[in-house]
Amino acid sequence: MPGAALRLLCGVLLPAAVLRAEPLPRVAFAAGDPRRPLARFSLPNVSDYDALLLRGDEDELYVGARDRLLALAVGGPGPPLATASLPWAPTAEKASECAFKKKSQETECFNFIRVLVALNRTHLYVCGTYAFSPACAYVDLENFTLVASGRGQPFLDGKGQCPFDPQHTHTALLVDGELYAGTMNNFQGNEPIISRSLGGRPALKTDAFLRWLAADAAFVASFSAPGDDKVYFFFEETADEFDFFERLLVPRVARVCKGDVGGEKVLQKKWTTFLKAQLVCAQPGRFPFNVIQHAFALPRRAGRADFYAVFTAQWQAGGSAVCAYSQESVEQVFEGKYKELNKESSRWTVYGGPDMSPRPGSCSVGPSSDKALTFLKDHFLMDGKVLPGRGEPLLVRAGVKYTRIAVDEPRGLAGTAYRVLFLGTADGFLDKAVELPGAPHVVERIQLFPAPEPVKNLLLAPGKGLLYVGYSGGVLQIPLANCSGYRSCAECLLARDPYCAWDGHNRSCRPARLAGAHASGWLQDVETGQPAAACHRGRSGAAPRARGGPDGAAVETLSPPLHAVVRLPCPRRSALAAYAWQQPGEPPGAAAALLPDHTLLVLMRRGAAGAYRCQATENGYTWTVAHYLLREPAGAEEAPGRPAAGHHRSYWPQFVTVTVLLAVTLAAAACVAFGAYHEQLKARRKVRGCGAAPPPGRPEKEPLRAEAPPPPAAAPPARCLQLRDADADDGAERLPA
């Protein structure tokens, strides 16, 4: 039995407890939450805003949508504005050819823009699927028009640069005026290709006959660090180097050299430097995350980059991992041993023959010998595997499918560079996580759309502090952070958001980049998030007392009438905190009930007045998130007349009146109409001892049943009689004819 299968079996047997705790987003924002407003751009009758390209100064965003190219003015305070719109739909002839080939006229026979690159200051180069007949064109930025190729053809043939099928993944990269593309090269979608075109040199491609790529290779990203002499491609394909009982997908990285010009006798017009290797992203003893969804390269100094990739698992539903690879670890594998296919046994083994110089596939200057090229024809797969940094995933989330990743590197107060991962999901969420020496910290999660749909593209504009999201219905623009949402020093530090720091002079949480070089009086603690030491040291750290509570929670004073039920919400400012109420009374909380969302219901009695504080304890630090002062009821013993102000208004008098009237009416009606059934009917009535009018606008069935403290017994049952709607309806149905 192969090792991989054994590992899988062990994975099934390992208890879940062995796994590292999964990092939860500290704050989650629902779609439309004003704390994380999204600026939206969309045009009527335009869909699939898949391709995004930002001009160098981050002031103009080019968008490739279905049958249309757009130029948007961005980076200002407002939402993106269209400055130019260029329709580019397939001709009627192409569309009907597409339909004739049994492709859908509703969903497929359009021009989905896939390649969108800046050729030079004046021209873009774009390609689209063009109704299953890929086409490319130049865009003159002066007047935003397509430039015809001039040779009778309206557009250039996009075969080998752009997929035929909008469902197929692809990648394209412009380096030194040449287009490097990874895509499907045919209509059937079984001949993948890595190509180089444009520019002055001869076009190059992978050899289809030698099967350098499996027929299902699917490309997700490509990179070349500035100053590097290589181009990397990230993709997915069926592996045939493993004996495995079923189709096994592996994530791969391939490499070609920029200086490659193809062979002379051997490998004419083909890459002479193509090598590929397996990427590993797995937790020990678990199913590997073997399906790569997307990758991102974060350039480092000296022509190097770190690669970040998001993975899902072939055999495990709902779960994603992020793995990071240094370019050195990738290079090391490409410097290692080659695999070769043993023709007799049809098995892949390690090549054990003599070394050659220069090494086949290396980016050495000077022509390679025919011998080296012949060797390369069937030694393109490396034996070593590329392992992630620290040997394991950076981040693992169950039940989340990441589709896109972008990584930013903001500077913190002390000049430290932090790496912040922006992760888009298949159901329309954006997770923001900061990479830390220990476990990563998920700062926030933002729901992007009201209904689930995949994030198709993410593009950072770090200079403007913005992120663009491409999706089926438009483009979203999101600030990388909203520091003013953290309202106290403690919260600002607990958030551990590298973009934010506490400004002691202004007494507000503000963008860390505003601190400048000196940053005196500013506080930030991304690594540990410990406000205790920092915020209470000296004046600068103290939270604004003027607003009441020591942590910025203003005191809300309420004067509820006697017997009213007061609802005291406790805002969940952090999902990582534990919440507890501090309340007066003998014993404390005797007349209170706690809802699952930590809202406290207090029955207003003598002795229930006083200070109520909801406290959050997070990372060893306790802070007040809500602070209420309930006044001693003023009136006499009997039911008060005046409802309290604000959203804790009591509807007690109205409730009592309505309930009593309803009960009396129904009882009378029941007596008259049902006669003999009276007893039976009464038994069906569910009497709820409540004393609590459900707060207005909330579902009636929810309160008071959920948690341990029983409903206050003090309320006289007579006042609490309440017929359940269902029973009332039920009774009406049975009215005799």
Ligand X SMILES: *[C@@H]1O[C@H](CO)[C@@H](O)[C@H](O)[C@H]1NC(C)=O
Question: Which residues here bind ligand X, judged by CB under 6 A?
Answer: 34-37, 119-123, 138, 479, 482, 484-485
Task: Between 147 and 732, name the residue whose CB sits nearer to ligand X.
Answer: 147
The tokens 């070609």 sit on which residue?
256
DSSP-derived secondary structure letter, 76: S
CA distances from 229 to 131, 183, 192, 303 (A): 36, 22, 24, 8
Please report how close the Cβ of residue 177 comes to ligand X at its closest, in angstroms.
8
Backbone angles phi, psi at 140, to 5 degrees: -80, 115
- Of 607, 590, 597, which Cα lies nearest the Cα of 567? 597
- Of 81, 92, 98, 85, which Cα lies nearest the Cα of 46? 85
Task: Between 27 and 693, name the residue whose CB sits nearer to ligand X.
Answer: 27
Q: Are 560 and 604 in contact (CB under 8 A)?
A: yes
Task: Between 122 and 268, name the residue whose CB sits nearer to ligand X.
Answer: 122
- Of 352, 336, 325, which Cα lies nearest the Cα of 251? 325
Q: How many residues does the chain have?
A: 737
Task: Between 35 and 705, name the residue whose CB sits nearer to ligand X.
Answer: 35
Task: Between 198 and 382, name the residue whose CB sits nearer to ligand X.
Answer: 198
Please report how close the Cβ of residue 616 comes to ligand X at its closest, in angstroms.
17
Please report how close the Cβ of residue 103 comes to ligand X at its closest, in angstroms.
31
Q: What's the burial of 272, exposed, middle or buried (CB within 10 Å: 0-12/13-18/19+)?
A: buried
Please report how close the Cβ of residue 482 comes to ligand X at its closest, in angstroms.
4
CA angle 56, 59, 64 (to 5 degrees): 80
Task: Between 128 and 560, name the residue whose CB sits nearer to ligand X.
Answer: 128
Task: Between 120 and 188, name the residue whose CB sits nearer to ligand X.
Answer: 120
Please report how close the Cβ of residue 138 comes to ligand X at its closest, in angstroms.
5
Task: Between 253 and 466, name the residue whose CB sits nearer to ligand X.
Answer: 466
Please report how close the Cβ of residue 150 comes to ligand X at its closest, in angstroms.
11
Task: Between 175 and 215, name the residue whose CB sits nearer to ligand X.
Answer: 175
| Residue 41 in tokens | 């751009």
Three-class SS of residue 105?
coil
Distance CA 424, CA 412 (A): 24
Please report how close the Cβ of residue 128 comes to ligand X at its closest, in angstroms.
18
Please report how close the Cβ of residue 148 comes to ligand X at its closest, in angstroms.
12
Task: Between 217 and 489, name the residue whose CB sits nearer to ligand X.
Answer: 489
DSSP notation for 339-386: EEEETTTTEEEE--S---SSPTTS--SSPPPHHHHHHHHT--EEEEEE
User: What is the number of other CB atoms lying within 10 angstroms of the CB of residue 273?
Assistant: 25
Please report how close the Cβ of residue 121 comes to ligand X at its closest, in angstroms.
5
Task: Between 106 and 142, name the residue whose CB sits nearer to ligand X.
Answer: 142
Task: Between 36 and 445, name the residue whose CB sits nearer to ligand X.
Answer: 36
Please report how close the Cβ of residue 153 comes to ligand X at its closest, in angstroms.
16
Query: Max CA-CA distance within the chain?
Result: 107
Please report how close the Cβ of residue 143 comes to ligand X at its closest, in angstroms.
14
Please report how close the Cβ of residue 397 comes to ligand X at its closest, in angstroms.
25
Task: Between 138 and 581, name the residue whose CB sits nearer to ligand X.
Answer: 138
CA angle 200, 206, 207 (to 5 degrees): 125
DSSP notation for 522-535: EE--TTT--HHHHH
Distance CA 342, CA 137 (A): 45
Please report how close the Cβ of residue 198 comes to ligand X at its closest, in angstroms.
8
Task: Between 454 and 479, name the residue whose CB sits nearer to ligand X.
Answer: 479
Distance CA 652, CA 641 (A): 9
Please report how close the Cβ of residue 496 comes to ligand X at its closest, in angstroms.
17
CA distances from 531 to 116, 229, 485, 553, 592 (A): 46, 46, 17, 16, 31
CA angle 240, 242, 245 (to 5 degrees): 95
Please report how close the Cβ of residue 460 comes to ligand X at its closest, in angstroms.
17
Please report how close the Cβ of residue 16 comes to ligand X at its closest, in angstroms.
37
DSSP-derived secondary structure letter, 731: H
Distance CA 303, CA 325 (A): 15
> Which residues are CB-contacts of 677 (< 8 A; sequence separation ≥ 6)?
734
CA distances from 598 to 197, 232, 276, 556 (A): 61, 51, 54, 17
Please report how close the Cβ of residue 83 comes to ligand X at its closest, in angstroms.
20
Q: Are 322 and 307 in contact (CB under 8 A)?
A: no
DSSP notation for 438-507: SS-EEEEEEE--SS-----EEEEETTTTEEEEEETTEEEEEES--GGG--SHHHHHHHT-TTEEEETTTT
Task: Between 120 and 153, name the residue whose CB sits nearer to ligand X.
Answer: 120
Distance CA 92, CA 83 (A): 28
| Residue 235 in tokens | 């993709």
User: What is the number of other CB atoms lying within 10 angstroms of the CB of residue 107?
Assistant: 10
Please report how close the Cβ of residue 417 comes to ligand X at its closest, in angstroms.
24
- Of 629, 627, 624, which Cα lies nearest the Cα of 644? 629
Task: Between 36 and 377, name the residue whose CB sits nearer to ligand X.
Answer: 36
HEC readout, 296-342: EEEEECCCEEEEEEEEECCCCCCEEEEEEEEHHHHHHHHCCCEEEEE
Distance CA 40, CA 474 (A): 7
Task: Between 57 and 700, name the residue whose CB sits nearer to ligand X.
Answer: 57
Task: Between 102 and 121, name the residue whose CB sits nearer to ligand X.
Answer: 121
